[in-house]
Structure 1
Amino acid sequence: MQSIVRQIAAELKVGENQVQQAVDLLGSGATVPFIARYRKEATGGLDDVHLRELEVRLAYLRELHDRREAVLKSIEEQGKLTPELRAAIEAAPTKQELEDLYLPYKPRRRTKGQIAREAGIEPLADRLFADPTLDPQQEAQAFVKAEKGEGGEDFTTVAAVLDGVRDILSERWAEDPALVQQLREWLWAEGLFKSKLASGKDENHPDNAKFRDYFDYDEPIGRVPSHRALAVFRGRQLEILDAKLVLPVEPEPGKPSVAEGRIALHLGWSHAGRPADDLIRKCVAWTWRVKLSLSTERDLFTRLREDAEKVAIKVFADNLRDLLLAAPAGARVVMGLDPGIRTGVKVAVVDATGKLVDTSTVYPHEPRRDWEGSLYTLAKLCEKHGVNLIAIGNGTASRETDKLAADLIKRLATAGMADIQKVVVSEAGASVYSASEFASQEMPDVDVSLRGAASIARRLQDPLAELVKIDPKSIGVGQYQHDVNQGELARTLGAVVEDCVNAVGVDLNTASVPLLSRVSGLSPSVAKAVVRWREAHGAFKSRQQLMEVGGLGAKTFEQSAGFLRIREGDNPLDMTGVHPETYPVVQRMLDQLGKPVREVMGRGELIKTIKPERFADDRFGAITVKDILVELEKPGRDPRPDFKVARFNDGVEDIADLREGMVLEGTVSNVAAFGAFIDLGVHQDGLVHVSQLSHKFVNDAREVVKTGDIVKVKVLEVDPARKRISLTMKLAEAPQGGRREGRDARSGDNRYQAPGRGHKQQQPAGPMNTAMAGAFAKLQGLRK
């Protein structure tokens, strides 16, 4: 275990003691949010990002340790474990390298090489390779068998014996860990990832056309971006594309390949025209073509996919975090509109607490076209309930429904009603929530279609509280989310939701079961018990009352209490992030000040007079005391940004209304490494390629924007037929004397490269060209 701790500390660049303390806390059942927030002294201030990395690496290294022990035991039982081999196995840093070392000793079916060894041909193979001046034909005569073996093996001719030599040598070389790793790393650096349209496939078929950029594509495999790799792998899985790993230089017919040359170099052999050299060259070629080429391709494709999946999962996680921590509209009455054409627009009004108070369905669009009747119904609902905001789902008929809301707001303003704002919100996952068991419990007598409108309304009030009711994978802010490891995706997204919920804190007296179950230490069953207690006894008056909930013991209380808020309870500290275990520390501060807690909270000038060092002790150090003071200064603070609304341009309702040069306001709906997708309210997201985000070099789009941001963009190109919109955020002229646009000064790599054979083409710096914009816009159809 100490070696694991040492390795993690080196990887995270932190102290071994910090890692050991974190490992011990995790082992005792503490959660990452709890450790990051309330055990900073123990871990030396490791944050949740470090702790999540530590948790993942700890699991991997423990699995590696267990596998290493199994490998050592297997080889030892075979009587083949030498001190040198043991040392190599114990030093193997990855599962891949461990398996490379184990390969020659792995129990398996009899191979041709084993059969040849059992027939006694191995001495001949050793002799010919050690001394190529020997004549293979003559030397093989002594190994020819008079008849076939009992298992049918046939070494009754010289040719068969020499084939046995080939099988022995090629198998031995193909199981040489140093050679395998050397070839693997060389091909990762220089091999090409190549794809083409599968034989017999029609390139104009709609299902195939979306992969057009990959019909004739190759790129160095070690530099293939995540989205391209996953696109090719998806096309391959659908049997639309053929993909393979090719050598950087294809060999001439009849000539050895570069890979064969590297094998020969590793063996220290070269063809010198000696009698056995032709046979050895044949063995080298067999080693590559039969033994190593396919296995190396498989290994590198696995590595490429795993690396691509890590990036895709990170993109999803980052976008989900931004969406969950989006600005809440807060305690305002909201009308949710779930747009539809023939089925009508579903309407739900929720009060300031999120309670559903009214529903309706209006039919402003085809075929009824009851525009005036719809306005009348909506106006009555606004007047009756005092609606402050209108939330409009971004699905089918969203733009038409947005226009309806605009007309409604104008009429209400004319009638003297208070100003009402409208906001288009993502409805991803609303249908999943509507049909869920929790939705049926929450709104048992409400039609499924109307539940979606209620969810859309609540998303505006508090995105975090509403979106936790939905499986994160259904929220739709990922790229290629169905192509990645689903277990790893679920684990990562679950961690994001947990971190976000605990960073914001949860109102103990209003939180739903799904929200409570994401609080540190609270399982779904305990969350249900908390709600049952609340329904039976009324609102919690103090955190200490949690101990009365069945199934909630001292350990769970320790993990959860600091993240649960009680507003207007018996103790004002219960509405803050101050943990109950540190209330005595606060009391000592109050004793010094001679004031009750209500007169201290929120008074920065008074709190700044407190010296943290004076109240630190063996259990709670200065770091914890400083955190307490921050909470007292801004009690119940919300880390999320202030709420604001993007305003879509009047008259721009469809992609056909867009023109080059238009400057529009929109909301970032999704972010990938290569760019950001912008919702302009025209049913089709536009793409700002990473090269168009800023006049400065941008390596990753999230350096500039995040999901939910409201941005101004200019239209570069519009292709209504293919539903492609290319945008730029570079609205002003480039600064004089700056670094040339789009070029990385460190490497000279030009950022304007389209996917198809992109590593060979270079586009001029400047505005996004048609080929590049179109190629990246295609990704919109594949990113989910």
Structure 2
Amino acid sequence: MDQQQMFQLIATETAVKPTQVKAAVELIEEGNTIPFIARYRKERTGELDEEQLRAIEERYHYLTQLNQRKEEVIRLIDEQGKLTDELTQKIMQSTKLQEVEDLYLPFRPKRKTRASIAREKGLEPLARLMAESSQAEPVQAAADSYVDAEKGVDSADAALQGAMDILAEELSEDADIRKWVREYTWKHGMLVSKAKDAEARTVYEMYYDYSEPVHKMPPHRILAVNRGEREEVLKVKIEVDEEKIFLRLAKWFAVPAHAYLTQVVQDSYKRLIAPSIEREVRAQMTEQAEEQAIRIFSENLRPLLLQPPVRGKMVLGVDPAYRTGCKWAVVDDTGKMLEVGVIYPTPPQKKVAEAKAEVLALLDKYPIDIIAIGNGTASRETEAFIADVIKEAKRPVYYIIVNEAGASVYSASKIAKEEFPDLDAARRSAVSIARRLQDPLAELVKIDPKSVGVGQYQHDVSQKHLSESLTHVVESAVNYVGVDVNTASPSLLSYVSGISATVAKNIVKRREEVGRFTKRTDLKEVPRLGAKTYEQCIGFMRIHDGENPLDQTPIHPESYAVVGRLFSELGLELEQIGSDACKERLKQVDVESMAERLACGVPTLKDIIEALLRPGRDPRDELPKPLLRSDVLKLEDLHVGMQLQGTVRNVVDFGAFVDIGLKNDGLVHISRLSERFVKNPMDVVTVGDIVDVWVYNVDVERERVGLSMIPVKPENDNEEK
């Protein structure tokens, strides 16, 4: 497959033009990052977005590897002197690695098999006779002449068995047969799971006697069954109608299947084909389930990262616990840690009065607006305590439950130790909880994305693939928002397009040694930040109150001259950016005719005008603010039909988990998300959404709440249950 064919194939698969694929591949090969291409090379790619660009990049790399494997397989078969024009053509026309491997299978070097031993005994001619005879009798008669004790053929039956072994292996290695069996198993196979110990109580009980069509099984159930099998709780296999497979395999022979060929077909399938095809189909199921799990994690992670920051607020962060006490940290409106400590309002100490006095003293000492409570162990008790305390505060104070997933990972990390060398891990965690409210993106980038708690079976998928995918999401979110180069941490800077961890540290070091950056070109002085890196990163770097007002916008310096010509056409000065007069004139611009006059692409000019209309804008500010609470909600307070407001914390295949102020999030099952049919919960809700929900059912014993986004009437209590 030459490059043009690759571009055409990718274009068909991704529903874009071959010229767009070609441009995208060229830009990637030139060393440009995906965020840079998506934002600043729209004219070349025809405005492909990041998702399309990543799909093209991934597919191009796959096809490149496929081409390399084809060349290698052709070489290996040719070295055996067995390459034919027909085989070469079949290999070259393959579009999947599996097809190439199927074609190579008969030529792959093998350890000793029953078939190879039979060939060494000289039984190949008997195998040919067996495959070409329409009756069993001539084969049986011929078998006597192959009896040879010196060669290890002790009887006619042994000769016949050897001949059947040869044919069984040849049948199992036929690429077309393997493809047909694989597809048949996928379409008609049933995955069946049984308990190894039916009396054992485990989380896998629904799979103790379970079956479901292979091609219909949803990803979360595939991963659950896999885990049950891995933990040796379940026995899992794929069952198919073998008789139909036998009929298809028998047609491989040029003659009607006599008794010996019938044995060949059954042995070939059961001993050689079925085990490997089952492994391949299970692997395919797992791969698709993993892709879906990773997709869900990625799609949940982006809105989590892009939660609106709570600006200008001093926050008291609280990391709940029992025995070791609740660690707290006061963080000012810039994220600077002012004071840390510990209180013991929870069991076993239950020093409630002392803890209350300490929190009230902090509220008097600092202008704390919000208390951020982690949602981990002892969260419910801590929330009840805080809700009681703030009733006695001298001014309105609110609290919010913050998802603390990953806070403990961060607090024990090298980054946290460098940031707070004098604090223990728990106190660092309290600081992190407070900062997550103030600027979720800046804080969450310090944590391994796998640990932020918005996934589904994330520990059961390829960790390499998951890590790559989540890194792309974080990179995309950081570059979408932009980074203040004078306040950003090395962790945040390292996700900027083109910036490595080393360069990120060098930027901070230069800032500490020389002082704040006053213009974008100052970054050229940072060690190891070369011309290519500068080109890739600089549009995503922001300098507020700098020498050039354009440096606070996402406009790339390569387009500053275009802005100059635009302002000249409009009779404006750079100093007028952000003024009402400037905005009014920009709104009246005919983009297409102006782009022609300025010798500029229409997409680029659109982005420039958008940036100039809202200089210094943070796109996160347009999202709904987090819900603040002033009183606690208990499970006992709930009744069916009760309406509440909550925050979507996680979206999975089967629904969405919503924080309504309880210790555990309530589940809105996919069937209760909307009155219309919902195929994918993410079509209805995303992480961070503020939603109205109704209590659908309450399980006090298991501390579970079923919620509905479809109104539930209290009088329907029994019917709903």
Shorter-chain TM-score category? over 0.9
Contact 1:194–1:244 at 8 Å: present in 2 too?
Answer: yes
2:253 and 2:677 map into 1 onto residues whose CA distance is 45
User: What one-letter code is carried by the residue in structure 1 that aligns with 2:545?
Assistant: E
Corresponding residue SS for 1:601 = coil
> Structure 1 residue aligned with 2:643, among 660, 663, 680?
663
Map 1:527-676 to 2 at 5 A: 527-601=504-578, 603-612=582-591, 613-616=593-596, 620-640=600-620, 641-646=622-627, 650=631, 652-653=633-634, 655-676=635-656
Map 1:465-476 to 2 at 5 A: 465-476=442-453
Q: Which residue of 2 aligns with 1:395?
A: 376
Corresponding residue SS for 1:482 = helix
Offset at 1:175?
0.8
Q: Are residue 486 (structure 1) and residue 463 (structure 2) matched?
A: yes
Corresponding residue SS for 1:521 = coil
1:429 and 1:281 map into 2 onto residues whose CA distance is 59
Matched residue count:
712
Q: Are residue 337 (structure 1) and residue 318 (structure 2) matched?
A: yes
Q: Which residue of 1 aligns with 2:229?
A: 236
Distance 1:134-1:373 versus aligned 2 partners, 3 A rule: closer
> Structure 1 residue aligned with 2:194, among 193, 196, 218?
196
**TM-score, with length taken from structure 2:** 0.95
Offset at 1:11?
1.0
Contact 1:585–1:615 at 8 Å: present in 2 too?
Answer: no
User: What one-letter code is carried by the residue in structure 1 that aligns with 2:376?
Assistant: G
Contact 1:718–1:724 at 8 Å: present in 2 too?
Answer: yes
Q: Which residue of 2 aligns with 1:750?
A: none
Corresponding residue SS for 1:664 = strand
Contact 2:648–2:658 at 8 Å: present in 1 too?
Answer: yes
Which stretches in structure 2 are left out of the alignment for 5+ residues?
none
Contact 1:665–1:710 at 8 Å: present in 2 too?
Answer: yes
User: What one-letter code is carried by the residue in structure 2 that aligns with 1:335?
Assistant: L
Q: Which residue of 1 aligns with 2:658?
A: 678
2:364 and 2:78 map into 1 onto residues whose CA distance is 82
Which region of structure 1 is more displaced relative to structure 2, 608-617 or 475-484? 608-617
Q: Which residue of 2 aligns with 1:762?
A: none
Q: Which residue of 2 aligns with 1:456?
A: 433
Corresponding residue SS for 2:321 = coil
Which region of structure 1 is more displaced relative to structure 2, 641-650 or 631-640? 641-650
Q: Which residue of 1 aligns with 2:692?
A: 712
Q: Residues 623-663 of structure 1, C-alpha deviation per residue, up to 9 Å, x if partnerless?
A: 1111101100111222224352336695633x455433333
1:20 and 1:263 map into 2 onto residues whose CA distance is 43
Q: Which residue of 1 aligns with 2:682?
A: 702
Map 1:513-528 to 2 at 5 A: 513-528=490-505
2:364 and 2:35 map into 1 onto residues whose CA distance is 44
User: What one-letter code is carried by the residue in structure 1 that aligns with 2:697?
Assistant: E
Q: Which residue of 1 aligns with 2:157?
A: 159
Q: Which residue of 1 aligns with 2:90?
A: 88
Offset at 1:103?
0.5
User: What one-letter code is carried by the residue in structure 1 that aligns with 2:25?
Assistant: V
User: What one-letter code is carried by the residue in structure 1 that aligns with 2:614?
Assistant: K
Distance 1:723-1:123 versus aligned 2 partners, 3 A rule: farther
Map 1:41-56 to 2 at 5 A: 41-56=43-58
Q: Which residue of 2 aligns with 1:258?
A: 244
Map 1:47-446 to 2 at 5 A: 47-136=49-138, 138-141=140-143, 143-149=145-151, 154-198=152-196, 201=197, 203-205=199-201, 209-247=202-240, 249=241, 257-267=243-253, 270=256, 277-412=258-393, 415=394, 417=395, 419-446=396-423
Corresponding residue SS for 2:697 = strand
1:514 and 1:242 map into 2 onto residues whose CA distance is 44
Contact 2:498–2:536 at 8 Å: present in 1 too?
Answer: yes
Offset at 1:448?
1.9
1:665 and 1:282 map into 2 onto residues whose CA distance is 67
Corresponding residue SS for 1:519 = coil
Corresponding residue SS for 1:76 = helix
Q: Which residue of 2 aligns with 1:774?
A: none
Offset at 1:499?
0.4
Distance 1:449-1:359 versus aligned 2 partners, 3 A rule: same
> Structure 2 residue aligned with 1:687, among 642, 667, 673?
667
Distance 1:674-1:99 versus aligned 2 partners, 3 A rule: same
Offset at 1:614?
3.0
2:255 and 2:238 map into 1 onto residues whose CA distance is 26
Corresponding residue SS for 1:388 = strand
> Structure 1 residue aligned with 2:483, among 506, 510, 526?
506
Corresponding residue SS for 2:619 = coil
User: What one-letter code is carried by the residue in structure 1 that aligns with 2:37?
Assistant: I
1:592 and 1:617 map into 2 onto residues whose CA distance is 9
> Structure 1 residue aligned with 2:707, among 715, 721, 727?
727
Contact 2:294–2:466 at 8 Å: present in 1 too?
Answer: yes
Which region of structure 1 is more displaced relative to structure 2, 622-631 or 117-126? 117-126
Corresponding residue SS for 1:102 = helix
Offset at 1:431?
0.8
Corresponding residue SS for 1:21 = helix
Offset at 1:500?
0.5
Contact 2:220–2:289 at 8 Å: present in 1 too?
Answer: yes
1:769 and 1:659 map into 2 onto residues whose CA distance is 12
Contact 2:400–2:629 at 8 Å: present in 1 too?
Answer: no
User: What one-letter code is carried by the residue in structure 2 that aligns with 1:133?
Assistant: Q
Offset at 1:382?
2.5
Corresponding residue SS for 1:396 = coil
1:601 and 1:645 map into 2 onto residues whose CA distance is 28
Distance 1:382-1:270 versus aligned 2 partners, 3 A rule: farther
Contact 2:136–2:260 at 8 Å: present in 1 too?
Answer: no
Distance 1:649-1:541 versus aligned 2 partners, 3 A rule: closer
2:604 and 2:296 map into 1 onto residues whose CA distance is 33
Corresponding residue SS for 1:231 = helix
Contact 1:121–1:143 at 8 Å: present in 2 too?
Answer: no
Contact 2:387–2:631 at 8 Å: present in 1 too?
Answer: no
1:632 and 1:618 map into 2 onto residues whose CA distance is 16
Which region of structure 1 is more displaced relative to structure 2, 127-136 or 323-332? 127-136
By percentage of residues, which structure has more helix? Answer: 2
2:583 and 2:292 map into 1 onto residues whose CA distance is 42
Which stretches in structure 1 are left out of the alignment for 5+ residues?
252-256, 272-276, 734-765, 771-784
Offset at 1:98?
1.0
Offset at 1:615?
4.1
Offset at 1:616?
4.7
Percent same amino acid at aligned positions?
A: 45
Offset at 1:40?
0.5
Report the RMSD for the aligned CA atoms in angstroms: 2.1
2:596 and 2:531 map into 1 onto residues whose CA distance is 24
Q: Which residue of 2 aligns with 1:737?
A: none
Corresponding residue SS for 1:368 = coil
Q: Which residue of 2 aligns with 1:781?
A: none
**TM-score, with length taken from structure 1:** 0.87
